[in-house]
Structure 1
Amino acid sequence: MIAKYIRISDKSQHIDRQVNDTDKLYIDVISGKTKFADRPQAQQLIQDIESGLITQVTVHEVSRLGRNLLDILTSIQYMHDKGVNIYVHNIGMHSLIDGKESPAFTMVVTILANISQQELATLRERQLEGVRLAKEKGVYKGREAGSKFTPAELCGKHPDIIKYLQRRAKQKGKSYSIREIASITKKNASTVQRVSKAFNELGGKFYYNKLVDPFA
């Protein structure tokens, strides 16, 4: 059986681009920082692999498996040991060719996994710097009572929304409205509104100008 493993960070994210005609879906709504073996649906997938039900696992991109190089390579090796082939859609590569590990796949995936890990570390540094700058300006409120995320954490969870908020902040002419950003990113307007509020609490234009633009 071919399985499709999908990981998204929150329920507002769309999975349409990650879904195709596979036999069974395993969908985790969880942070990429969580180890693969600690995720509920990944655990179910592992159980089915142990039962001999799965012959191939398909993921849209390497980062769906995790954000830690060692964890990703460990998960891949586990599947190989069980005779399970892995197909990464966005690079169009299988991990096993005629039952043997593909050196090209290993090389490419190791590079991409390392990049994914570095992106997470960079994002964390950017969040901390944003908090520091916001505190200096006196606009940082931290986590409100009853809220789930701090402004920095909320912004970090929605880089696609932040991209357009940053563009809106720096452009003097064209400005993206909340509804436009929601339509472009395919997320709820309420989510965009919350992220916009968090972005402003982190300094808005100042946060954008002082930090590296990851979408440039």
Structure 2
Amino acid sequence: MQQAVIFVRVSKKEQDYQRQLEDLRSLALSQAVQVVAEISEKISGARTNQERDGIQELLRLSRTRAIQKVLVCEVSRLGRSTVEVLQVVDELTQLGVSIYVQNFGIETLRNGKRNPVAQFLFTLLAEFARLERETLRERILSGMDEARRQGKKIGRPDGTTEGKAAFLKKYASVVRNLRAGLSVRKTAKLCDVSINTVRKVNEYVLLKP
């Protein structure tokens, strides 16, 4: 029996990935594979795969030959860009790990060999997902430009600039973890903040008074 990982991601903290998990658990039963791990992320799709603990754990399990299959709902769960998705697909393929994408019913390996149709579809789907994000970003920027033309204030209100002391007080737990020697990534995970926020705190902490 093949060992498999269920991999799910949502991009907002208020979103729930329970439906994805339930769907993929049912899929695992139908394919008679043994689920040895469930990896779930609540992280923005704009984060690189290097910043995603879930993707890194998936790659670790694949490299140690602990799994032979990955189950995902959509190809966009595997990366923010076409290049990142294809990098994951290529590495897992080289390691003999097949990826099954539920919403299209496609799999990267057939009897241990590359499925060229899946490779082609992965490229297309990843590119469509990237274009969709770019379109959304352009719409947001266009809306901000229109608001400025109408004289509306964009960003932090005047007079509310956050000083260094107030910022460090706000993220006191981040400061403690950094001073204790924890890495930026570990601190971000423990304190449930973005890596960029931790980096900004770290810059302030390293600055001499």
Q: Tell me the TM-score range normalised by the shorter chain.
A: 0.5 to 0.7
Measured in 2, the distance between the counterparts of 1:38 and 1:111 equals: 24
Question: 1:44 deviation in Å?
Answer: 1.5
Give 1:90's match in structure 2, choosing from 97, 100, 103: 103
Q: Which amino acid aligns with 1:126?
A: R
Partner of 2:9: 7
Question: 1:143 deviation in Å?
Answer: 4.2
1:51 paired with 2:56, answer no
Give 2:20's match in structure 1, choosing from 2, 18, 23: 18
Q: Tell whether the 8 Å contact from 2:7 to 2:70 is kept in structure 1 after alignment.
A: yes
Q: Which amino acid aligns with 1:90?
A: N
Report the TM-score when normalising by structure 1.
Answer: 0.63
How many residue pairs match? The answer is: 147
SS at match of 1:91: coil
Question: 1:31 deviation in Å?
Answer: 1.5
SS at match of 2:103: helix
Greater than 4 Å deviation, 4+ residue runs: 143-147
Ranges in structure 1 where 5+ consecutive residues have no aligned partner: 148-216
Measured in 2, the distance between the counterparts of 1:2 and 1:110 equals: 23
Q: Which amino acid aligns with 1:56?
A: K
1:103 paired with 2:116, answer yes
Measured in 2, the distance between the counterparts of 1:38 and 1:67 equals: 11
Give 1:42's match in structure 2, choosing from 37, 55, 59: 55
Measured in 1, the distance between the counterparts of 2:131 and 2:161 equals: 31
Quick check: which has more Rg, 1 or 2?
2
Question: 1:28 deviation in Å?
Answer: 1.6
Report the TM-score when normalising by structure 2.
Answer: 0.65
Q: Which amino acid aligns with 1:12?
A: E
Between 1 and 2, higher relative CO (CA 8 Å, sep ≥ 6) is seen in: 1
Ranges in structure 2 where 5+ consecutive residues have no aligned partner: 29-34, 163-209
Measured in 2, the distance between the counterparts of 1:137 and 1:62 equals: 40
1:64 paired with 2:64, answer no
Distance 1:37 1:5, change over 3 A: farther
Post-superposition Cα deviations, 1:108-164, rounded to whole Å, max 9, x if no partner, equal 1111111111111111111110100011122343246699xxxxxxxxxxxxxxxxx
Post-superposition Cα deviations, 1:51-96, rounded to whole Å, max 9, x if no partner, equal 1111111111011112311111111000011110000010011110
Measured in 2, the distance between the counterparts of 1:67 and 1:15 equals: 18
Distance 1:97 1:37, change over 3 A: farther
Moved more, 3-12 or 33-42: 33-42
SS at match of 1:87: strand
Q: RMSD value over aligned CA atoms?
A: 1.9
